[in-house]
């Protein structure tokens, strides 16, 4: 029997696990108005950003595509864009419209702040009223695209939370769903094992090239990446080298074949497991996953990293008994039974899969309820 969750079926066939109106800043100077509108209207989510003004070429394309990707995300019922002027706002709007949801905009020129907040609030209200008519219905788990991430890692990550997430990922892929793993730098030292899982030679080659390109860049800058990756808190948590961190990080991808290699924020074309070539730091990586359409993200942590994504609810999984005590407020799922009770990652992962269905059906996460959420789009070139 096909396993289901209670989701929001969308006009384009996608399924949301949440039902929000995204208020999206087209550039950094719009953020204050975005925040003011979201304070005024329930059901809205502020998607703020830095820069965009002064970006050009590939770097600007990534910014537009990422903002639009978060708007297209199935968790979003409707979008209100907050822009400075019409033309740039339209660059983002035209990328969201194909998703078939309402897209409205408010520009600061020529309204000024007070009138833009007032008119934006009125439009957000109407969008939220219409969105609130949506009802959850049983939907197949195969409609889920899930991101797997780790941050604030330590040696318990590779032993507990990441293998638990990997077991959950295997179950989801087995039921016809999809998974994205990313964080290119965190494959240094484990890439040979992951490349061997590629569905075909071209995918394996593209994956190895992404890792090689990153390492070549680090080496060409003449710098030692130690202290940056692993980070100082990783090192305090017992991780000695990037190789050790990578071998533990890879566990969250489970064991299924690697189907494709994606660019920053790119949506996968097919089902199964995918790799996204994107920087590892959590906020910018989660942003890319949400832009790719992930409805949920599973985030393994060791010494603790509380941050979640604005659009894709982020489930914090931890197996470090100390962190489960000191940062209990920020953890959604306890995987410590692996070290403390000798439980197998497969059985703890089975429980996490059950919890995934609950969260997809509406159970909230700590980062949602505490609003511990942030957005950052990676930069690939300087601004002019």
Cis peptide before 230 (omega within 30 of 0): yes
Task: Report the C-alpha gap between 317 and 167 in whole angstroms.
Answer: 13
Binding mask 135-154 for other proteins (x = CB under 8 A): -------------------x
* Residue 235 contacts other proteins per CB under 8 A: yes
- Toward other proteins, which CB reaches closer, 177 or 319? 319
Q: What is the DSSP string of 318-344?
A: E--HHHHHHTGGG-SEE-THHHHS---
User: Among candidates 273, 263, 267, which has minimal Cα distance to 294?
Assistant: 267
Stretch that binds other proteins, among 36-44, 51-59, 184-192, 359-367 (CB under 8 A): 184-192
Shortest separation between residue 238's beta carbon and other proteins, angstroms = 4
Say if residues 377 and 290 touch (Cβ distance below 8 Å).
no
What the block records as the tokens of 338 is 């692996």
Q: Do 23 and 47 touch, CB atoms closer than 8 A? A: yes
> With binding defined as CB under 8 A, does residue 225 bind other proteins?
yes
**Does 247 contact other proteins by CB under 8 A?**
yes
Residue 29 CA to residue 346 CA, distance in Å, equals: 47
CA–CA dist 51, 27 (Å, integer)? 6
Interaction between residue 190 and other proteins (CB under 8 A): yes
196 scored as a contact of other proteins (CB under 8 A)? no
- From the CB of 62, what's the least distance to other proteins, in Å? 23
Least Cβ distance, residue 158 to other proteins (angstroms): 7
Task: Count residues binding other proteins (CB under 8 A).
Answer: 37
Residue from 115, 240, 326, 383 binding other proteins (CB under 8 A): 240
- Residues 180, 294 contacting (CB under 8 angstroms): yes
For residues 91 and 154, which CB has a smaller minimum distance to other proteins in the complex? 154
| 124 closest CA partner among 199, 42, 56, 54 | 42
Q: Which residues bind other proteins (CB under 8 A)?
A: 154-156, 158-159, 185, 188-190, 193, 212, 215-216, 218-226, 229, 235, 237-238, 240-244, 247-248, 302, 320, 322, 339
């Amino acid at each position: 029997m096909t396993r289901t969750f209670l989701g929001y079926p969308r006009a384009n066939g996608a399924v949301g696990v949440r039902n929000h109106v995204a208020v999206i800043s087209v550039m950094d100077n719009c953020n204050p108005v975005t925040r003011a509108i979201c304070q005024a209207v329930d059901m809205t989510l502020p998607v703020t950003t830095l820069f965009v003004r002064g970006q050009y070429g590939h770097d600007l394309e990534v910014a537009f595509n990422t903002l639009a990707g978060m708007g297209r995300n199935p968790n979003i019922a409707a979008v209100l864009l907050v822009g400075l002027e019409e033309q740039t706002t339209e660059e983002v709007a035209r990328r969201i419209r194909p998703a078939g949801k309402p897209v409205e905009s408010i520009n600061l020129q020529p309204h000024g702040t007070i009138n833009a907040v007032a008119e934006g609030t009125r439009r957000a209200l109407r969008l939220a009223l219409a969105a609130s008519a949506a009802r959850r219905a049983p939907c197949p788990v195969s409609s889920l695209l899930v991101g797997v991430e780790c941050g604030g890692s330590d040696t318990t990550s590779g032993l507990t939370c990441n293998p638990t997430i990997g077991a959950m990922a295997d179950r989801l892929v087995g039921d016809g769903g999809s998974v994205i793993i990313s964080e290119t730098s965190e494959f240094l030292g484990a890439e040979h094992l992951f490349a061997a899982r590629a569905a075909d030679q071209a995918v394996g080659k593209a994956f190895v090239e992404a890792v090689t390109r990153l390492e070549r860049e680090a080496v060409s800058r003449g710098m030692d990446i130690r202290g940056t990756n692993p980070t100082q808190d990783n090192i305090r948590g017992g991780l000695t080298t990037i190789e050790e961190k990578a071998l533990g990080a890879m566990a969250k991808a489970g064991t299924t074949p690697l189907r494709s290699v994606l660019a920053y924020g790119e949506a996968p074309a097919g089902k199964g497991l995918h790799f996204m070539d994107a920087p590892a730091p959590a906020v910018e990586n989660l942003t890319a996953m949400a832009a790719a359409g992930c409805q949920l993200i599973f985030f393994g942590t060791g010494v603790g990293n509380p941050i979640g994504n604005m659009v894709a609810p982020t489930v914090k999984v931890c197996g470090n008994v100390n962190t489960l005590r000191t940062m209990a407020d920020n953890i959604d799922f306890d995987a410590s039974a692996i070290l403390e009770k000798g439980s197998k990652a497969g059985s703890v992962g089975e429980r996490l899969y059950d919890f995934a269905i609950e969260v997809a059906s509406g159970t909230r996460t700590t980062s949602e309820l505490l609003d511990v959420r942030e957005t950052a789009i990676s930069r690939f070139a300087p601004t002019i």
